[in-house]
Amino acid sequence: MLDTLTFLLEKLFLLAHIKLSSLLPPLRRREPPLTRRCDRDEAPVQPAGAPHKFRRGDLLEVPRTLFTHFGIYLGDERVAHLIPDILPALTADSRQIQEMVTNARLLLGVLSKRATVRVDSVEDFAYGGGILLNAMDRAVLRSPLSEEEVARRAERLVGSVSYSLLWNNCEHFVTYCRYGTAQSLQTDKFCEWLKSLIRDQRSVVLAALLGLLSMACVGTSFSTALPALLVPFTLWMAG
């Protein structure tokens, strides 16, 4: 039972960090004011093990299969990055906290909305993946702050912080440090897509049909009739 729960939580975490831009339909709305169209995803990736020529304050991205991890280079092969972690809430032992974050620690951090901004080596941060260097500069309209200011902001935030998949993740951390404003481009795209979905009247019809189907399969009762009426009505009014 525990193994099954762990497996499901791992899949949930991966899906929550999925690259929404690769799955969501293209929007015909204007881009958010802080971003512009770019070829950010086509930026060259430095392969794992390649010699690094990073500068203090650089923004590093490590593309994964389903998500991207972000960090700020501090110099001397050190990277500050925000990662979900439950352990700082359970112990003050710095040696245990500084050990590599396991999947269990990470998943419990996501569920408890706890994270830490920690400093690791470039190798540990990349975890075998290639690294994109300052690729977000082509996606954000704001100019980067000075290299030293970026690094100092990251260093000041080292320690325990709150965590949210959508509103305070590793992308918010690096954009605050480098551009002065916390932002997640993937969260912005998801919210825009969600608004377009709500405004699409076909969603009302689909919700109503699903509500009728649930009542036909489960039976008519207060617990099935209320959502079957409330959800389509809410979508209709919101649209």
**Location of structure tokens 């996606």:** 139
Between the alpha carbon of residue 154 and those of residues 53, 78, 168, 175, the distances in Å are 19, 12, 14, 10
- CA proximity to 57, closest of 196, 154, 158, 192: 154
Task: Give catalytic status of residue 177 as yes or no.
Answer: no
The active-site residue, picked from 38, 170, 177, 191, is 170
Distance CA 52, CA 36 (A): 28
Kindly provide the b/e burial profile for residues 88-100, where b requires at least 16 CB atoms within 10 angstroms of the residue's own CB: beeeeeeeebeee
Residues 159/80, Cβ–Cβ less than 8 Å: no
How far apart are alpha carbons 37 and 26 in whole angstroms? 12
Catalytic (active-site) positions: 170
